[in-house]
């Protein structure tokens, strides 16, 4: 069984919101100011700041001060840990989907055989 750490829980919690997911997607293109990140959302500065704080607490975003601008950058280590955790379950789903495919192929073949007997 995969170990569930507090860091992993924080990562998945942070990823559970569309604003935060979109923010990370934007940061995948490179660093951006807080204003640039907040621009596409109909949120107050305080509302967006809460989202950014959650991303920072999860270790997904770092923020540096450049003069008066806050520059945010994506931190990928927590995403790698989440990917590794999910990869464990890929085998499970792959195996189950393969079994479903086999069942459907056999069912379809039997249905065709029954129709040809009629």
Position 103 in a domain: yes
Nearest to 33 by CA among 87, 70, 59: 70
Q: 13-17, 20-24, 44-48, 112-116: which range is least confident on average?
A: 112-116
User: So what's the pLDDT on residue 3?
Assistant: 82
Report, as an integer, the average pLDDT of 14-38: 96
Q: What is the CATH number of the domain that holds 62?
A: 1.10.10.10
Number of domains in the chain: 1
Position 80 in a domain: yes
Residue range(s) defining the domain that contains residue 77 = 1-112
Higher pLDDT, 40 or 96: 40
Position 118 in a domain: no
């Amino acid at each position: 069984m995969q170990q569930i750490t507090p860091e992993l829980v924080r990562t998945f919690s942070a990823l559970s919101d569309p604003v935060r997911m979109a923010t990370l997607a934007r940061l995948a293109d490179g660093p951006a100011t807080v204003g640039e990140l907040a621009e596409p959302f109909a949120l107050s500065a305080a509302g967006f700041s809460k989202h950014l704080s959650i991303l920072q607490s999860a270790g997904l975003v770092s923020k540096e001060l450049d003069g008066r601008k806050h520059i945010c950058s994506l931190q990928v280590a927590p995403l790698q840990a989440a990917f590794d955790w999910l990869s464990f379950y890929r085998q499970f789903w792959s195996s189950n989907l393969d079994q479903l495919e086999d069942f459907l192929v056999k069912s379809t073949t039997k249905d065709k055989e029954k129709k040809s007997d009629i």
